[in-house]
Chain A
Amino acid sequence: MKVAVSSSGTNLDSPLDPRFGRASYFLIIDTDTLAFEVKVNDQNMNLPQGAGIQAGKIVANCGVDCLITGNCGPKAYNVLQAAGIKVFTGTKGNIKEVVELFKNGALQYSQGPNVDGHWV
């Protein structure tokens, strides 16, 4: 299965970036082989507004089934929902651990956004 994880770095030992819209990177990981691809989220870091929506689009275009992140606001959540991507929020730790937790079914699939939007 292919999952996207918001990441502070470019390898599997990097800590998860709790931000979704303004995360530094997204790692697109094959959970079976742990092979991964890095998506830089640099245009979003400085976007005046709508970072969550744009990040949602990036992840949606990667054809993943699930997204693992820390905080996900309502607009990003709606985008991911529309793309049929399951969202796991409130996650902490380094990417490898997080993927492991995910594979063991220890992460809880979230029913909605877990933070308010930034409104700008």
Chain B
Amino acid sequence: MIVTVASGKGGTGKTTVAVNLAVTAAEAITRTETIKATQLVIAPENPENFVELIDCDVEEPNAHLFVKPQNVVKQEISTMVPAVDMALCTFCGECEKICRFSAITMIAKKIMIFPEMCHSCKGCVMVCPTGAIKEGARVLGSLLTGQSSHGFNLTWGELRVGEAMSPPLIKQVKKTITCGSGRSNSISEDINNKLSIVDAPPGTSCPAVTTLRGSDFALLVAEETPFGLNDLALTVEALKKLGVPMGIVINRADNDQKGIIDDYAEKENIEIMQRIPFSREAAKICSKGLLLVNELPEMKQCFKELYLKIVSRITQNAKESKYKKTSTKTATSSSDNSIVGRS
């Protein structure tokens, strides 16, 4: 199952939640009594590799600062851009005509290519009558993988500074997700085998949407400020469009008193799954790149509760969707498992 940690606003604590949740999950799973105690269907075939953490905030990836992975393998990721073999070019102008992005243009018997404008649709390659257009490459950034000492793998992308398009790299990072098919219409049959925690970029436009598509569950990290609420509402709208079920974590909660986020969540019928209390101590721990669950016992408890809630919620969703699939009536109601597109 794919759990994506997201928030409209930046700096609400997505990465903090994602890394601490990954550590909690990796540790909880190695102790079978926790599983028994919660009576969940989770029985991983390979408990050692049950959890993986994927950082899709490729513009500013931070999870590795907390996870401090070992044996990091780095791989360069490129996207296709046209490269013209001038010996074969007949200057028919077809490539220029199909390109919507002005990435390839013909000037006075010269073919000019603007690689940074190219969206890699391959239209020019397809229309070229003489096969003069070959597949060149533009470097998007890197894909990195390493192992955490807590027993899970971290994979992240790092956008090349100066590259404007992050979604193509995010898609490459998402391809490494080993569980499920990354599609929202197949709530993971491998729910027992793998938990992929994905750290999403902020915002509600292409990078965030590219990351969130196909998640089984979205965990929204919210803060109790007007900015936080405004951006949370935008993300909730995006998730509704994507058909991804969701829950909220309130970070830096002032106290147990209900606030603006609670009111909103109640109105929208979204579960508040946990409140992470504010403390200067916690802020300091995060600022140093340390893990809350390692430093503060109350945080360890807090994340354990959160983890178990998420897992039981997803299990529930999966059961319901299975029921829906086998039932003779086709589901037409737009429950939170409704099918929207593919990844």
Contacts and interface: CB of A to CB of B under 8 A. Distances in A.
A54 B107 CA distance: 10
A82 B112 contact: yes
A79 to B, nearest CB: 6
Nearest to B164: A119
Given A56-B107, A83-B107, A119-B164, A49 B112 contact: no
Contacts of B110: 82
B82 to A, nearest CB: 14
B278 interface: no
A83 B111 CA distance: 11
Interface of B: 101-103, 105, 107-108, 110, 112, 114, 116-117, 164
A49 B101 contact: yes
A86 to B, nearest CB: 14
Interface string A25-59: 00000000000000000000001011001101100
Contact of A79 (B103, B105, B116): B105
B117 A49 contact: yes
* Most chain B beta carbons < 10 A, residue from A56, A57, A84: A57
Interface in A53-78: 53-54, 56-57, 60, 75, 78
B107 A60 contact: yes
A106 interface: no
Nearest to B103: A50
A1 interface: no
Closest 6 CB pairs of A and B: A50-B102, A53-B102, A82-B107, A83-B107, A82-B110, A83-B108
Given A50-B101, A78-B112, 17 more contacts: A47-B102, A49-B101, A49-B117, A50-B102, A50-B103, A53-B102, A57-B105, A57-B107, A75-B114, A79-B105, A79-B112, A82-B108, A82-B110, A82-B112, A83-B107, A119-B164, A120-B164
A37 B211 CA distance: 50
Contacts of B108: 60, 82-84
22 contacts: A49-B101, A49-B117, A50-B101, A50-B103, A50-B114, A50-B117, A53-B105, A53-B114, A53-B117, A54-B102, A57-B105, A60-B107, A78-B112, A78-B114, A79-B105, A79-B112, A82-B107, A82-B108, A82-B110, A82-B112, A84-B108, A119-B116
Nearest to B112: A82
A49 B99 CA distance: 11
Nearest to B117: A50
Contacts of B107: 56-57, 60, 79, 82-83
A1 to B, nearest CB: 18
Contacts of A50: 101-103, 114, 117
B101 to A, nearest CB: 6
Contacts of B117: 49-50, 53, 75
Contacts of B103: 50
Nearest to B111: A82
* Most chain B beta carbons < 10 A, residue from A53, A56, A75: A53
A120 B164 CA distance: 8
A53 B117 CA distance: 11
A41 B102 CA distance: 16
Contacts of B164: 119-120
A53 B111 CA distance: 12
Contacts of A119: 116, 164
Nearest to B100: A48
